[in-house]
Structure 1
Amino acid sequence: MLKDKNSGKIGAGIAFVFALFLVIFGFLKTLFIIILTVIGYVVGALLFSDKNKVKDWMDKILPPGRFR
């Protein structure tokens, strides 16, 4: 698996990106970006884990059968 072979490189890459964001944006903006990224990942993982959930959700918002 990816994390078993390259865990040091992955950690270094994440730390580099985090440090780069801190230098460019500052602490609060970086924290805001990280929070929105985590929220987006969680919502995407829960919503798009099942294709029927997406269709049911779209049917609630738009007229049924619109995107089938």
Structure 2
Amino acid sequence: MSLGPRSASEPAWFKSSYSGGNTTECVEAAFVPSGVFVRDSKRPEHPHLTVSAEAWRDFVTGARKASVQDLLA
């Protein structure tokens, strides 16, 4: 995936590979030194959330566990 030109201070935003296929249900994230930025991909100019790296790790771990549980149910 090409990110295109951007300034050194602009974060590199990415979408999950599990984002909605019709692109209407998506968030974007960007890793930054202070943690992780999270924003609505449909409104990138709006404010974003900032979470700690630990909170992001816990979120991703919880989401993975929920996905596995859904598959086993």
Q: TM-score, normalised by structure 1?
A: 0.43
Structure showing greater relative contact order (alpha-carbon pairs closer than 8 Å, 6 or more residues apart): 2
Structure with more of its chain in strand, by fraction: 2
The structure that has the greater radius of gyration is: 1
